[in-house]
Structure formats: C-alpha cells, structure tokens
Amino acid sequence: MLDSLRRIIALTRKELLAILKDPRSRATLFVPPIVQCLIFGYAATLDLNNARYAVIDQDRSAASSELLARFASVKIFKREAVLDNASQAADLINSRRVLLVLQIPQDFERRLQAGEIAPVQVIADGRNSNTAGTALAYVNQIVAEFNADWRAAHGRAAMGDRPILRAWYNPNLETRWNMIPALIGTLSMLQTMMLTALSVAREREQGTFDQLQVTPLRPEEIIAGKTLPSMLIGAVQATNVLLVAQLWFQIPFQGSFLVLYAGLIFFLLAAVGLGLFVSSIAQTMQQAMLYTFIVMMPFILLSGLNTPISSMPVVLQDFTLINPLRYAIDISHRVYLEGAGLDRLFDDLWPLALIGVGTLAGASWVFERRLG
Amino acid sequence: MSDHAAFAARLRRILALMRKEGFQVVRDPSSFAIGIVLPVILILLYGYGLSLDVKHVPVALVAEQPSPDTTELQAGFLLSPYFDVRAVTSSAQAQELMLERKVDGLIYLRESYGRDTRAGGAPVQIIVHGTDANRARIIQAYAQAALAQSRSRNVVSGAQGGGQATVESRVWFNDANDSHYFLVPGLVVLIMTLIGATLTAMVMSREWERGTLEALFVTPVQASEILVGKLVPYFLLGMVGLVLCVLSSRFLFHVPLRGSLLTLCITSMLYLLVTLGMGLFISSTLKSQFLASQVTQLVTLLPATMLSGFIYDLRSVPLVIQAISMALPARYFVSLLQTIFLAGDVWSVILPNALMLGVFACLFLVMTRRVIRKTLG
C-alpha cells in the first residue's frame, strides 16, 4: 500500500516535471485562463449598452417631446439621427448604424388627450434577436413610465397594479455575475482534459508508454499518476479564475471556499477521467487533440454557459446529464452567488463522481486490453 | 529549363505533396471526424440545442390570502405561454422553491391585494432568480406584460379609459424574434473556425517533431509549394463541412437566405483560408504538437464563441474589448453571415468585412511561408 503510494507520487512528480519544465507550456497553462477570464468578463454580456436609435417625430407636440426626453435620459440608449420620414429608416438599419427606429405618428398627443390608445411605432434590427428583444423590453418600460407620469400629471385615473421588480442573488442582473463563476469550471476543464489526453498520447508516440509497462507500476497506479497532476493543474487554474473574480471584478462570494473546492475536486476528477478515456482510444497526439475537441465542444455549448439549459429541447436536456461541466457551473453558481452548502449540492456531486469513476475504469480497462 | 517546363515541374511537385497529404487525411479517421462528422453533430446539437428563447418558466404566485382577485391575476399568468404558474400561500414555502431552483420567479401579492387593486392599483412584487441575468430580465419583461394584460382587462371593465401610449413593434429580418435565426449563422462561423484551425494545427508541427520536414528540405520542393500542398487537401475537406453547414441551416433550421449564394460561397471560402492559414501558422511556428494544440484551442474555441458577436452582441461591450475583437477574424465572418442570411447583400456591410478576411488570409499564409523558408535557409 505504502509502496504503491510512493510509486504514484513518483509518477506524479515526473508528470508535473514533464509538463512544467518547458516555460512555453507553463505559460500556456497559467496565463490564458487569467487573460480569458478578464476579457470574457467584459465581453460576454447580454446586457444592453450603446443602443443607437433614430427618431421620426411626426407629432412635434409637448407629449412627443416629453416621451423623447425620457429616451434621451436613459444611459443605454444613444440617439444617432433625427429623420424626417420613414423611408430613411431602412438604410440606417440595413447598414447596422442603428438598432432601433422610433416613430411617433402625427396624432399622438391628440389621441392621448382624447383618452384613446396612442401607438408609438418601433422598428428593431432582428439580426441579433436577443439584443432586439432586450431593447424592446426597455422601450416598453420607458413607455409605461411615461404613461404613469402623463396620467398623473393630467389628472387621469392610475393605471392599476404596478409591478415592483426585484432580483435575488444578482440584484442588478449583470451577466458578468453569471459568467465569471461559470468560467471557474469551464476554463479549467478545457485545458485539463486536453493536457491529460495529450500526455498519454505523447508517451505512446514516443514509445515511453511501453517502457512504463515494464516498471513495477500497476495499471491503476499509472492511471492515478496521470490523473493527479492534471487535477492539480486544473485546481490552480480554477483558483486563478476565482482570484480574478474576487479581486478584479469584486463579485461578492456568498458561500464557503471549502464547499466550492470540494465540488471542484469531484468535477476535476470527472474532467480528467474523460481526458484519459479519450486518450485510451487515440493512437496519436493529433487524434487525441481532435477527439478531445469533439467531446468538449458539445459539452461547452450545452452546459448552460451561454444559453440556458431550460431553453433546450427535452432530449438535449437529458444529454446534459452526462456533461460534467453542467454540474460544475451549477455548483459554482450555487456556492458563489447563492451561498449553498454541501447539502444542497448532493444532486450535482453524485453524477460527477459517477462520471469520474466510470471514465477512469473505462480507460484502465482499455489500457489493460491494449497491453495484454 | 524553359519557364514552361519549370512550371510543369512545380505543378508536379505540388500535386505529389497534395497526394501524400490526401492519403494521410483519408487514412486517419480523426481528420474525417473533424471535417465531416463534427460539423454534422455540432450543427444538429447546437441548432436544436442553442436557444435564448424563454418559454414555460416555472413561477410561483404567492398569495397569502387567496381571493377571487388573486385568482384572476393568476389566470392572466396561466394564459401566458411563457409561464407555468403554481400557487403557494406562504412566503417561506416560496423561498424554499427558489432555493431549490424549482421556480425561476415569484409573483408576490400582499394580504391587502384585493382591497388595493379595487382602489385603483396594488403593488405586485416580481422577484426573479437572478443567477442567469439575461433570462431573468426576459422573465421580468414577460411578467410585466402579463400583469399589464390583466390590468387592461380591469381598465376596460372599469370603463375609465384615459389615453395611454402603446408600443407597436416590428422586428426586421426576424419577425418571429426566433433566436435560431441569429444563432445558426453564428454557429456556422464557430464550426468553420474549429474545423479550419484544428485540421491544420498539427500538420506542420507533426512534421517538425518527426523530422520529416527536414527530409522535405533536401528535395527540390520550395516553401510555397509545401504550403499549397498542405492547404489544398484540407481546404477541400473544409468545404465539405461548410456545404453541410449551409445546407442544414437552410433546410433543417429554415433560416432564410436573403443574400446571394455566390456572396455566401466567396466569403466562406475566404474565411476557410483564414482559419486554415491560422492553423498552419501556429503549427509551423511552435513546432510542437502539444503547444500547437493548446494554443489553437485558446485562440479558436472560446474567442470564436465569446468575442465574435455570435451570441454576445459586440455593440454592447466596452471599447477595449471591441478593439481586441477586431484582431479576431471570426467577428468579421459573423457579421457577414448574419447579414447575408438575414438581411441580404448589403454591400456596405459585406465589402469592408470581406476585405478584412482577405487581409487576414494573406497575412497568415505569407507569415507561414516566411517561417518555413527562414528555417530552410
């Protein structure tokens, strides 16, 4: 038992040395997660900013200028042009110069005073339907506020029930609060899987894998010696992302670090297990890399990182159940933003353990058969 | 030797290199997997799987004192296709549902709701689970709309009109406001980026590692001939993937193609050259398969997802990030495809973006040639 442990540690040391001795590969392992986290923290936003719009005010009344003043006072909207007629609008939208065109028809104020419905026409560029939808939601909100104030000022009856909006766990609804904790798992998974897959493939290509066989190392010790270094590197990468989240973006951490790291261990085990499994099938480094990509792509895009899992068709929602990243993102959100304890993470932890043990067992089975 | 004969010899050398590379592609199942199987899997998985559309959101309506008024409000939410509403009577129960993530939002009605709403309007708290901020904001908007709807019913029945402004919106290029329309063109970009760069990322570094590139140097083959010989087979393989992508976006996901097929083809081929060139450049510069694969992954996968405008609108990001994204070819191709598919041949968008792709393609290929030649000398 003790001997076995010593052999595993020796192999782990050798692996770490092999990975870290080259300064270029050291740099590719530790610098990119930090840089990516910084860039994506700013880039990956579904929040609306700098939404340019054009105005066609055919009414030129007190009411229409009051409505337009409201748009001018909202920071996310930027007025790009004032047009005389609707025919100019098409060109501005086609060439992507504006996102929205607001048109206030001639009888806007008259209709309001007559107690009728006064429509405001809005054209949105739907090439990015999410941006268009968010912008329209803001337009609706601004118009609703306009209505409430206009009615109050003109002595009309109030509008009925008024909504009061609150958001839990992310009070200002910033995409970044969602994105950065999710990157803890994502960024560490990307490279650890590839690292593991390539480390075995490289030994194969260079023939040193056969040499390992004639050492006293047993197959499960080789597996352990390949798993541990990758997990360690993954944990360091995750820590770096966590530090950026805390020190740079200053997203408040609600939970306990102990719980987060416990979850990370399970996740890294599953990710490295997958990497080893891929490498057990691959013959060359090229294949190991390509297969890793093939496995990782669906896992990243169907993890809930970019689009919510609940918006997927049921079949694909079921598919995400074998995706370790899905659980990792859930764990980091729950611990980071909601302050969940281990008791609430149980549903995430056991699938990860299952994936980890399953893939590692599969990999060692394939290795043994290849050798035998 | 005459010019003509020199050209013939040159062509023969390139063809021989292409044949050798072609054999390697055909014999290695992983190249085929990337070139043909991966695009099919990805376009199916993502085409169906990626969606930002929010429907059937589970919400809880918390009414501490259920009454006909609260039931009426609940009916407004039941009618909305966006919500699956369930009624609860205690806020403790509602909080537990939020913590368990069984619901994504709470509609909270105070005890005095019935009285207040009759008196002209009651406050209604709409609480959303904010972890997924975008989804939360969409839920807020839908909840407000559902509330407004039940409210306008009340206003009409109360027969106390009083003018109000309403928004009549039209979403151009995407009338149904279906997120597939903009995600699928972006998906094509992502897939082409991966295919192009990963196919070639190891091609040169493998030859370095195995020493076969040095063997090539003693033959009459020139650097540019090696480049062309490597490029053409993978270009053809990439084209197969591209055709599959375009066909499935048109016929499987019914994304309209409003621009011309010719523009689509030319710009896509240009982009394929860019990504293949990028892979070749990385692998010939780094000379190590391990490093080449890590770097390729770093410059393709996440940047093409996060910084290309594929999902996250680049118009909303800070200026620094916009500047960084300009160094990534993917953003120009996303802009091109979204316009060619959804808006048509808008030359004011197509020409500058296509020009940038051309610049990138030349840049990568010229640099690769220099790297190969320099080592020759």
CA distance B292 to chain A (A): 10
Cα–Cα distance between B62 and B74 in angstroms, integer? 10
Interface check for B37 against chain A (CB to CB < 8 A): the answer is yes
Compare CB distances from B121 to A114, A161, A310 and report the shortest one's residue.
A161
Please indicate whether, in this complex, the C-beta atoms of A43 and B346 are within 8 angstroms of each other: no
Please indicate whether, in this complex, the C-beta atoms of B169 and A95 are within 8 angstroms of each other: no
Interface check for B316 against chain A (CB to CB < 8 A): the answer is yes
Could you tell me the pLDDT band of residue B363, with boundaries at 50, 70 and 90?
very high
Higher pLDDT, B213 or A70: A70
Interface check for A69 against chain B (CB to CB < 8 A): the answer is no
Binding-face residues of A in 100-119 toward B, CB within 8 A:
108, 111-119
What stretches in chain A show pLDDT beneath 50?
Answer: 372
Cα–Cα distance between A226 and A216 in angstroms, integer? 16
- pLDDT tens, position by position, B78-89: 888 888 888 888
Please indicate whether, in this complex, the C-beta atoms of A163 and B128 are within 8 angstroms of each other: no
Interface check for A307 against chain B (CB to CB < 8 A): the answer is yes
Contacts of B160 in chain A (CB under 8 A): 157
- pLDDT tens, position by position, B276-331: 999 999 988 888 888 888 888 788 877 888 888 887 888 888 888 888 888 889 99
- State yes or no: pLDDT of B1 exceeds 60: no
Contacts of A29 in chain B (CB under 8 A): 294
Cα–Cα distance between A143 and A121 in angstroms, integer? 12
Cα–Cα distance between B179 and B55 in angstroms, integer? 12
Contacts of A337 in chain B (CB under 8 A): 130-131
Could you tell me the pLDDT band of residue B275, with boundaries at 50, 70 and 90?
very high
Higher pLDDT, B50 or A40: A40
Which single residue is written with the structure tokens 């992983």? Answer: B30
**What's the complex ipTM?**
0.77
pLDDT, average across residues B100-127? 84
Interface check for A136 against chain B (CB to CB < 8 A): the answer is yes
- State yes or no: pLDDT of B160 exceeds 50: no
Q: Best residue in A128, A139, A190 to probe B by mutation, most B CBs within 10 Å?
A: A128
Report phi then psi at B127, rounded to 5: -110, 125
Q: Which two tokens stand for residue A202?
A: 């490289």
| Predicted pLDDT of residue A266 | 95
Please indicate whether, in this complex, the C-beta atoms of A170 and B131 are within 8 angstroms of each other: yes
Please indicate whether, in this complex, the C-beta atoms of A130 and B134 are within 8 angstroms of each other: yes
| Predicted pLDDT of residue B157 | 41
Please indicate whether, in this complex, the C-beta atoms of B165 and A123 are within 8 angstroms of each other: no
| Predicted pLDDT of residue B197 | 84
Please indicate whether, in this complex, the C-beta atoms of A308 and B202 are within 8 angstroms of each other: no
As a whole-number percent, the residues of chain B with pLDDT over 70 amount to: 94
Please indicate whether, in this complex, the C-beta atoms of B305 and A134 are within 8 angstroms of each other: no
Closest CA to A35 of A304, A237, A195, A251: A237
Could you tell me the pLDDT band of residue B158, with boundaries at 50, 70 and 90?
very low
Please indicate whether, in this complex, the C-beta atoms of A191 and B49 are within 8 angstroms of each other: no
DSSP output for B251-301: HTS-----S-HHHHHHHHHHHHHHHHHHHHHHHHHH--HHHHHHHHHHHHH
Nearest CA in chain B to A294: B38
- pLDDT tens, position by position, B258-274: 899 999 999 999 999 99
| Predicted pLDDT of residue A158 | 65
| Predicted pLDDT of residue B12 | 87
Cα–Cα distance between A34 and A332 in angstroms, integer? 17
Higher pLDDT, B180 or A103: A103
Using DSSP bridges, classify how beta strands A77-83 and A51-57 pair: parallel, antiparallel or unpaired: parallel
Please indicate whether, in this complex, the C-beta atoms of B169 and A139 are within 8 angstroms of each other: yes
Check if the beta carbon of residue A344 is closer than 8 Å to that of residue A330.
Answer: no
Please indicate whether, in this complex, the C-beta atoms of B133 and A39 are within 8 angstroms of each other: no
Q: Best residue in A92, A286, A334, A336 to probe B by mutation, most B CBs within 10 Å?
A: A286
Please indicate whether, in this complex, the C-beta atoms of B30 and A202 are within 8 angstroms of each other: no
Contacts of B125 in chain A (CB under 8 A): 163-164, 166
Could you tell me the pLDDT band of residue B241, with boundaries at 50, 70 and 90?
confident
Interface check for B49 against chain A (CB to CB < 8 A): the answer is yes
Nearest CA in chain A to B178: A129
Write down the pTM of the prediction.
Answer: 0.81
Check if the beta carbon of residue A205 is closer than 8 Å to that of residue A284.
Answer: yes
Cα–Cα distance between B8 and A227 in angstroms, integer? 54
Check if the beta carbon of residue B238 is closer than 8 Å to that of residue B35.
Answer: yes
CA distance A360 to chain B (A): 22
Q: At A262, which amino acid appears?
A: A
Check if the beta carbon of residue A269 is closer than 8 Å to that of residue A227.
Answer: yes
Cα–Cα distance between B202 and B282 in angstroms, integer? 9
CA distance B2 to chain A (A): 42
How many CA atoms are closer than 13 Å to the CA of B166, on its beta-carbon side? Answer: 13
- pLDDT tens, position by position, A210-251: 888 788 888 788 888 889 999 999 999 999 999 999 999 999
Compare CB distances from A194 to B168, B293, B314 and report the shortest one's residue.
B293
